[in-house]
Structure 1
Amino acid sequence: MADQDRKRKFSGRPDSRMSEELDALILKTATRLFGEQGYAATSVEQIAAVAGVGKQTIYRRHPSKESLFKTVIAELGNSFLRAASPSAEMVSSDPLQALYKTMRMLLDLILSPETLSLSRTFIAEGWRFPDLVNHAGAHIFDPLEKLTCTLLTAVSRAGLLKAGCDLEETSQMLATLCLGGPHQQVLFGRRVLLTAQDRDHYLDHAWRAFMTGILATPAPPPSGNRDRR
């Protein structure tokens, strides 16, 4: 949509639907620019210009650039949870499969261009803006660790884990193997796990290796692990 058309569309007092569209447009534009240019190099004026909205339109929703960036991070974390959280029915009927499917979905999410761009921003500028890094921890990393630990707890309650597993520590190690390694390799510029088949293959091997150590009875990846929700 051209800037002039966009400005005409959002001129005047927007109704609830238009307001939601405007919110989404601002966040989408801010996410892209923060990822492409970094936090320090991106201004609210630039975001407004690229989005084709007035600067005050952004400030009415986000009182500062820091507030806008924190909203971008919080929404990214929420989108991860919405996409990766399995249904209660799946967790109840087959918690091991639910955990596997969650890891597979998260692998796609952390390797998405949007996530990688924002990750590079944190690596390059996190030392200058520690409060923003802490915000990312609270709204992305901590909730995902909690989700993984909750699913592993369900696996334990089903009697599938060896006795004595520290669930919090084990869930962190599982996420590091299944997600952290691939994420780090791609951030370093390696062109790996580019296709769904490559990611399935990697996760199958990582899953088998890890589960051999923690399951009471070693088992292959749950059946139907490549089914998408």
Structure 2
Amino acid sequence: MAPWAKTERELLSPVVETILADLEPLEGKRILVLCSASGEVAFRIADRVGGGEVLGLELSEELLSAARSAKTEGVPVRFDKALPDRIPSPDAAFDGVVSEFIVYPTSEVTDIGQSEMARVLRPGGVMTITDVIAPEDPPADIRAAFTEAHLDYLCVATPDDFAGWMEEAGMVDVEVRELTDLVRPVWERRLATGAAAATHLLGSGPWSLGRGIRYIRVRGTKPT
């Protein structure tokens, strides 16, 4: 699994700020972060919830341990072991749900769908999802380029698929935003020493970032 380097955390700050803006106002809110990895996004949210709380759920024991070790006393966040196919929380438990795969996800992927995320949202709550997508399964050479760049995951779907799934889960005011340009600097950094992977993923071919491969954010609100 590839950890976030300090430089990469700085480069990814605009993506995290987009997630935070989706959830504002955060003061006093209870927020769930799915696939919370080693906690970077959960900690950033916790900085703004004041009297609220952040719960991060993660399948990987290694990343869960790293997140718990990084937590300092007084920070309103806790990290629990995720279940593979459901959220271990009651209905309407959270003001916001974040499912965040940022650039090169290190989390183990769950089978939790948007209907389950919507279940634990309170009326008026916000769901925001980020994902690396492609319209079809990439060929072997592209998969190899991903491995070379420590990019661990790709969702075969379109932006319209994500919007449709969110609407099927009962969400309204669904909005899709392209964030590909915000993650390009990290891909460039990761691929700086991999000429073959860089040609495939950063060039002008059909599977390059911004063409065959995209990074999106999808946001919706649970009706009141």
TM over 0.5: no
Q: TM-score, normalised by structure 1?
A: 0.23
More helix by share: 1
More strand by share: 2
Q: What is the TM-score with the length of structure 2 in the denominator?
A: 0.23
